[in-house]
């Protein structure tokens, strides 16, 4: 029996070595690569400005360029996984990620760190794009939605743990130690990838140029494209918050790096709870109502950030909390809904999804890095305005009949 002829039961491909539970944990681990790669060193950003004798805007390029090249890398890794299989592409990306993490730990200048972060980003793109594709390869229907929710919830533990762990590491070693930890993360990922069995059944038979060109075919699917835009623009305010949170809490409110990590983790906990909360809600309410309500909650949260978020760190944390809960609660149904619009080219479709989410998030990081007078006000405005736009588009597409499985 070759790797494309494994026995399946109820559309779930058997993983001989990892097992079903181990496979789910491994996918969640892969999904955590990006938050681990960004959030782990967030507490160190203010001190890294001094260490490199640079400024916030230049150091933030280590975040901005990470997401730009991470997004670009996914546009290549996903289609390649449709042609060559998920496993070889995953292992290739993880090798690049691990080596780049080692280089980051030894960076002597901020410019070196930017270059090494770009390499790290390209490698991590393989992990994330392939992980989502493997879910669609292996699960169908409500089982897929429940796996998406469970994996997202497990992956969201990374934003909870990473800043706290990063702050603890900084008490013992400098920021260099953070990247040594990411090197270990890469090695663990390679071990899991080695034992994972291939999930793809039907591969793309075209040459490499025809394989990459499938991106254009998928993006021309109107139902796929409109849903992708509707949900991906939510990343603009989210990534603005992630990239600027340490400056707001440490420089703005005067908190220590350790206390900042607790505030960040408090907010991130609701990213873990949200997907599980969705599974309970979905048993009683239709996805249409859940998604519409979530967009409305984000609008209210944006208004709260604008009006009371500047008063204290606790009010800022509490005002952004509804947006965090609603934004993550919407992810499992929206991801499954987008995937349902494209029945072939799964790797390409998931790459486009990840690219779009990352591209929009990068826009948010660049906007918030500009020299605005009050970043909290700008952040709240982003949340409110973007949610209004998404809600209007969502209400409009609900009136059409071209969207599958709404």
Residue 12 has pLDDT above 60, yes or no: no
Q: Sorting pLDDT into bands at 50, 70 and 90, what band is 305?
A: very high
Residue 321: predicted pLDDT: 93
239, 67 contact by CB (below 8 A): yes
Give the confidence band of 10 by pLDDT, cuts at 50, 70, 90.
very low
CB atoms within 10 A of CB 395: 12
Nearest to 296 by CA among 259, 255, 325: 325
Q: Which two tokens stand for residue 178?
A: 């953070």
CATH fold group of domain 8-397: Growth Hormone; Chain: A; (1.20.1250)
- Count Cα neighbours of 24 within 13 Å in the Cβ-side half-sphere: 16
Q: Lowest-confidence range among 113-117, 159-163, 267-271, 361-365?
A: 159-163
- Domain residue ranges in the chain: 8-397
Whether the predicted pLDDT of 283 surpasses 80: yes
* pLDDT value, residue 243: 79
Residue predicted with more confidence, 340 or 384: 384
Please tell me the total number of residues recorded for the chain in this structure: 406
Map residue 8 onto helix, strand or coil. strand
Average pLDDT over residues 71-75: 83
212 pLDDT above the threshold of 50: yes
pLDDT digits (tens, 9 = 90+) for 250-276: 888 888 877 887 888 888 888 888 888
Percent of the chain with pLDDT over 70: 93
Q: What tokens were used for 163?
A: 């800043």
Give the model's pLDDT for residue 97: 94
Strands 12-13 and 8-9: antiparallel
pTM confidence score = 0.72
Residue 156, phi then psi, degrees to nearest 5: -75, -5
Nearest by Cα to 316 from 298, 299, 300, 304: 304
Most confident of 16-20, 186-190, 214-218: 186-190
Predicted confidence (pLDDT) per residue in 343-374, tens digit: 777 778 888 888 888 888 888 888 887 766 78
| Cross-strand pairs, 161 | none
Q: Is the pLDDT of residue 245 over 60?
A: yes
- Average pLDDT value for the chain: 83
Mean pLDDT (whole number) for 23-47:
82
Cβ neighbours for 28, distance < 8 A, ≥ 6 positions apart: 150, 151, 152, 154, 155
């Amino acid at each position: 029996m070759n790797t494309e002829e494994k026995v399946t039961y109820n559309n779930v491909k058997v993983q001989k070595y990892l097992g079903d539970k181990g496979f789910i944990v491994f996918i969640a681990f892969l999904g955590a690569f990006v938050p681990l790669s960004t959030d782990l060193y967030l507490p160190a950003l203010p001190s890294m400005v001094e260490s490199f004798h640079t400024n916030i805007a230049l150091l933030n390029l280590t975040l901005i360029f990470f997401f730009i090249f991470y997004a670009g890398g996914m546009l290549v890794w996903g289609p390649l996984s449709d042609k060559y299989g998920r496993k070889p592409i995953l292992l290739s990306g993880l090798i690049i990620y691990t080596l780049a993490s080692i280089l980051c730990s030894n960076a002597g200048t901020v410019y070196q760190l930017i270059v090494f972060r770009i390499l790290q980003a390209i490698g991590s793109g393989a992990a994330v794009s392939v992980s989502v594709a493997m879910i669609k390869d292996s699960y169908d229907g409500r089982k897929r939605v429940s796996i998406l929710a469970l994996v997202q919830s497990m992956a969201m533990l990374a934003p909870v743990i990473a800043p706290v762990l990063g702050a603890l590491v900084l008490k013992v070693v400098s920021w260099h130690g953070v990247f040594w930890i990411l090197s270990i993360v890469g090695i663990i990922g390679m071990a899991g990838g080695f034992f994972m069995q291939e999930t793809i059944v039907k591969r793309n038979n075209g040459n490499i140029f025809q394989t990459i060109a499938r991106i254009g075919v998928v993006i021309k699917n109107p139902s796929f494209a409109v849903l992708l835009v509707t949900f991906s623009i939510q990343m603009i305010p989210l990534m603005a918050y992630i990239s600027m949170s340490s400056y707001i809490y440490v420089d703005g409110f005067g908190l220590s790096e350790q206390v900042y990590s607790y505030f960040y983790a408090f907010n991130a906990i609701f990213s873990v709870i949200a997907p599980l909360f969705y599974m309970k809600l979905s048993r009683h309410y239709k996805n249409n109502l859940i998604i519409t309500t979530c967009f409305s909650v984000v609008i209210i949260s944006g208004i709260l950030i604008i009006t009371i978020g500047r008063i204290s760190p606790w009010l800022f944390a509490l005002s952004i909390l509804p947006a965090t809960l609603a934004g993550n609660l919407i992810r499992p149904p929206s991801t499954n809904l987008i995937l349902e619009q494209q029945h072939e080219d799964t790797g390409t479709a998931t790459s486009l999804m990840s690219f779009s989410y990352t591209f929009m998030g990068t826009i948010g990081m660049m906007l918030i890095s500009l020299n605005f007078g009050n970043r909290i006000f700008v952040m709240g405005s982003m949340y409110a305005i973007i949610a209004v736009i998404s809600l209007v588009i969502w209400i409009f597409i609900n009136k059409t009949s071209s969207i599958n499985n709404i």
